[in-house]
């Protein structure tokens, strides 16, 4: 259970985030979305609020909030504009990885600048030959200079913060022959420099304004002291743990977008009149509103349950997987229902409904597709109910 002091910190933080979203982000979201422009000022303000160091312990300059508060912050941000959550979501996977698995020297070296947002980063896992099939990655790290360095070659794709980020939790193969092959994957704390650059930018359906790019490693030399936790071959396990909080953050984003769509729909339904009365008096519209709110409530309870268990220090593959699966699926349904309720007014860019609809599918794909969530859930269930 959180202490009274933690609850007070949570309440202040959420109120500040709500205020920021309402005053600063919502008024400019549509323009950034339309032009696909990076909202530098908004991200700088978020850095000032400490949001880049949400889960970084206070001793390293972060806010040190629990996973439940982290989830609530993501929901509030996504309710305004889902793109606000991208850069701090990916960045948090890096800071979570360093906090949990880094050596003391690595924590001291990287966390203060990452917590303040002076340096920004993300997770560099996916590549053309290895998205879902992480072990199929081809990025290779070869030891050099009497084992003091590695030389890395390869290309990552779809990387959030790829252009504006400085430091990435990079996964590369240090052993191409080990079986199973994920045991040959190592995590590096990699900073851009000679041999490590951004490649092409991807033009996306939704989640616009956020830079999603290739990362190119061309004889990139990195000190061996940047192997996460000084442990070669452990990258896959380290990232799978970070992905648990990643899935809680994606579920929270989905709930925020769905909540925004629902609130717009229930307001519009009471204002829009057809045949002499508001459409909210029609049973078919009421059924939709009731289903939307029920789904959002269930998704929120599942996500908060996963977050609370993570706060108890438990592994939550099952709960985080279920929350991410359910919240992202209902987000797609709810945003479409909000569009149905708005009729033509929901299909045009005069209202944010069509943006909510375009932002929803990323939550189905990102942080492990929903097909993969189902496999993870089933694997856990078969273990629990083994006969």
Ligand X SMILES: Cc1cc2nc3c(=O)[nH]c(=O)nc-3n(C[C@H](O)[C@H](O)[C@H](O)COP(=O)(O)OP(=O)(O)OC[C@H]3O[C@@H](n4cnc5c(N)ncnc54)[C@H](O)[C@@H]3O)c2cc1C
Binding interface with ligand X (CB under 6 A): 90, 122-126, 131-133, 158-160, 204, 207, 212, 362, 365-366, 368-369, 371-372
Give the shortest CB-160-to-ligand X separation in angstroms.
3
* 193: DSSP letter: B
E-only strand ranges, 125-209:
140-144, 149-160, 167-173, 185-191, 196-201
**Two tokens, residue 264:** 């717009």
Shorter beta-carbon distance to ligand X: residue 204 or 272: 204
Shorter beta-carbon distance to ligand X: residue 18 or 358: 358
Give the shortest CB-262-to-ligand X separation in angstroms.
24
**Two tokens, residue 303:** 């996500």
What distance in Å separates the CA atoms of residue 64 and residue 69, rounded to the nearest whole number? 10
Shorter beta-carbon distance to ligand X: residue 267 or 379: 379
Shorter beta-carbon distance to ligand X: residue 2 or 361: 361
Closest chain position to ligand X (CB): 131
Give the shortest CB-368-to-ligand X separation in angstroms.
6
Query: Would you give the distance in Å from CA 41 to the centre of its chain?
Result: 20
Give the shortest CB-264-to-ligand X separation in angstroms.
24
Question: Are 52 and 91 in contact, with CB atoms under 8 Å apart?
Answer: yes
What distance in Å separates the CA atoms of residue 341 and residue 233, rounded to the nearest whole number? 52
Catalytic pick from 75, 329, 367, 386? 367
Peptide bond into 350 cis (omega under 30): no
Shorter beta-carbon distance to ligand X: residue 110 or 262: 110
Give the shortest CB-197-to-ligand X separation in angstroms.
16
CA dist 348 to 138, 344, 345, Å?
A: 43, 7, 6
User: Any catalytic annotation for residue 367?
Assistant: yes
Residue with token string 């992202």: 328
Q: Which of 223, 103, 101, 235 is nearest to 175 (CA)?
A: 235
CA dist 180 to 136, 140, 184, 188, 270, Å?
A: 11, 16, 8, 20, 58
Shorter beta-carbon distance to ligand X: residue 161 or 280: 161
Give the shortest CB-2-to-ligand X separation in angstroms.
30
Residue with token string 């193969």: 173
Question: Are 304 and 248 in contact, with CB atoms under 8 Å apart?
Answer: no
Q: Which helix (H) or strand (E) holds 214?
A: strand 212-223
Give catalytic residues, as residue numbers.
Answer: 367
């Amino acid at each position: 259970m959180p202490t009274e002091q933690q609850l007070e910190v949570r309440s202040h933080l959420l109120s500040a985030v709500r205020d920021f979203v309402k005053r600063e982000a919502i008024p400019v979201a549509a323009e950034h979305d339309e032009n696909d422009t990076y909202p530098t000022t908004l991200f700088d303000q978020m850095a000032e609020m400490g949001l880049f160091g949400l889960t970084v312990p206070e001793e390293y300059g972060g806010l040190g909030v629990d996973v439940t508060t982290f989830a609530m912050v993501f929901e509030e941000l996504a309710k305004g504009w889902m793109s606000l959550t991208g850069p701090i979501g990916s960045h948090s996977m890096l800071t979570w990885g360093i906090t949990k698995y880094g050596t003391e020297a690595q924590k001291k070296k990287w966390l203060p600048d990452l917590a303040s947002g002076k340096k920004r980063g993300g997770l560099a896992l996916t590549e053309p030959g290895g998205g879902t099939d992480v072990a199929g990655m081809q990025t290779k790290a070869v030891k050099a200079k009497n084992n003091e360095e590695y030389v890395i070659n390869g290309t990552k794709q779809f990387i959030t913060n790829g252009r504006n980020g400085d430091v990435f939790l990079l996964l590369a193969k240090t052993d191409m022959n080990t079986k199973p092959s994920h045991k040959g994957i190592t995590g590096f704390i990699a900073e851009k420099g000679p041999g490590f650059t951004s490649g092409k930018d991807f033009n996306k359906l939704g989640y616009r304004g956020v830079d999603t790019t290739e990362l190119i490693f061309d004889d990139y030399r990195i000190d061996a002291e940047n192997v996460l936790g000084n442990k070669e071959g452990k990258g896959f396990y380290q990232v799978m743990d970070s992905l648990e909080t990643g899935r809680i953050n994606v579920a929270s984003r989905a709930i925020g977008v769905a909540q925004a769509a629902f609130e717009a729909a229930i307001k519009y339904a009471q204002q829009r009149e057809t045949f002499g009365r508001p459409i909210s008096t029609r049973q078919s519209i009421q059924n939709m509103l009731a289903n939307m709110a029920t789904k959002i409530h269930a998704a929120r309870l599942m996500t908060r349950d996963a977050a609370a268990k993570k706060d108890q220090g438990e592994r939550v593959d099952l709960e985080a997987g279920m929350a991410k699966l359910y919240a992202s699926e209902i987000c797609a349904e709810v945003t479409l229902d909000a569009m149905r309720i708005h009729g033509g007014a929901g299909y045009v860019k005069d209202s944010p409904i069509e943006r909510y609809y375009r932002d929803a599918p990323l939550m189905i794909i990102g942080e492990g597709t929903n097909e993969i969530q189902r496999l993870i859930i089933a694997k856990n269930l078969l273990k629990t109910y083994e006969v």
